[in-house]
Copies of this chain bind each other. A is one copy, B any other.
Amino acid sequence: MIMIFSGLPLARNHFQHAAAVTEGGFQLTDRVPLIDKKFANRVDWNLMRTFVDIVRAGGIGAAARQLNRQQPSISAALKRLEDHVGTTLLHRTATGVEMTAAGKAMMTLCEDMLESARMMPHQIAQATKRVEGFVRIQIVSGLVSPEFDEAIASFHRRNPDIHIEIRVSPWRQVLDALEQGEVEIGVSYDSSVRGSLMYEPLLVERQQLYCSRSSPYFGHRVSRLIELKDERFVLTGEDEIELIRNLRRRNRLGTRVSGLAEDINEAQRLITLGVGIGFLPVLAAEGAVARGRLWPLLHADVEPSYDIYLLARTDPARDTATQLFWDEVFRRVRALRMA
């Protein structure tokens, strides 16, 4: 056991009960935290990075291979960390390691540290010189997100030399373009979760079934969708998400297709012009509804809703421009979600 007295130990007598957890030390526990005051000043911070690597790799040996070290090296590192902390962080099993409760707590803090470390080159680049580069963004059409717009504006203000390119496409193509490296950032719906992509929920989009002013339904709510099965429909083709497709199928809507447009704005135009009824995102149609050119047929509480994500490749080595952009949007979205 190692005891370190620094400063004025006795003066704090009164507080000894207040530090009960750490004080437990002197009775011979099996393992004793080396220190607790000034913990952060004495530990080797690199151990925390290693800790994350171990957990992410799922085992000590696995981590060793990824890091091009030998297994005992990592094993020893973990032990050093645990000695400093005074607790077992990972249970060693025959199949790898699993986190203890303490390990989980440690993990989130270590991940915070990693995130800070990862941001350094980018933040410094931003602080030092004007960052140049490209950010290519591919989004689904009809997207309405003031936060995202503001993020772009603010990002451009701070980094006027970064080219921003926005493409619009059906949602599947957004995902494909991302995976194939054609763009760095995506904003889209996704029906599943692709391992190669990072998903950050951006907003919840809702859709509504709209008809034009010329429709006999204008001004009326429809309670049973199936009533509309013989109506002419405007579809969004590839851009239609499963949720809507299933809803349509269940109610036999859209058997008579009178219009088709991949782009939500064009679909909206067709619906407004009375070509047929069709689904649109609520926020996208808002303006037209307010001007009395579209009418929502469903009750608000049955509007199908789904998540729209901010997307990027999981590629840990993103270029600075992309990283800064992601961070800009991320910060705003997170701050918003707090409220």
Contact = CB atoms under 8 A, between A and B. Distances in A.
Contacts of A102: 124, 127-128
A44 B87 CA distance: 24
A94 interface: no
A326 to B, nearest CB: 14
A302 interface: no
A113 B136 CA distance: 31
Given A22-B133, A119-B109, A335-B338, A28 B164 contact: no
Given A22-B321, A338-B335, A109 B123 contact: yes
Interface stretch (A30-38, A209-217, A219-227, A303-311): A30-38
Contacts of A127: 101-102, 104-105
Interface stretch (A3-11, A188-196, A200-208): A3-11
Interface in A228-275: 262-263
A21 to B, nearest CB: 5
B3 A319 contact: no
A79 interface: no
A74 B119 CA distance: 24
Nearest to A110: B116
- Copy count, this protein chain: 2
A75 interface: no
A110 B134 CA distance: 28
Given A28-B125, A85-B120, A124-B106, A319 B48 contact: no
A339 interface: yes
Contacts of A5: 165-168
Nearest to A112: B116
Nearest to A135: B18
Interface in A80-123: 85, 87, 100-102, 104-106, 108-110, 112-114, 116-121, 123
Contacts of A316: 38
Given A18-B134, A45-B117, A317 B38 contact: yes
Contacts of A87: 124, 128
Contact of A166 (B4, B45, B263): B4
A328 to B, nearest CB: 14
Interface string A129-163: 10111101000000000000000100010000001
A85 B124 contact: yes
Most buried by B among A6, A14, A166: A6
A135 to B, nearest CB: 8
A66 to B, nearest CB: 10
Given A104-B127, A164-B3, A39 B319 contact: no
Nearest to A2: B164
15 contacts: A1-B163, A3-B164, A6-B168, A15-B319, A17-B134, A18-B136, A21-B125, A26-B125, A45-B48, A45-B113, A87-B124, A105-B127, A109-B117, A112-B113, A112-B116
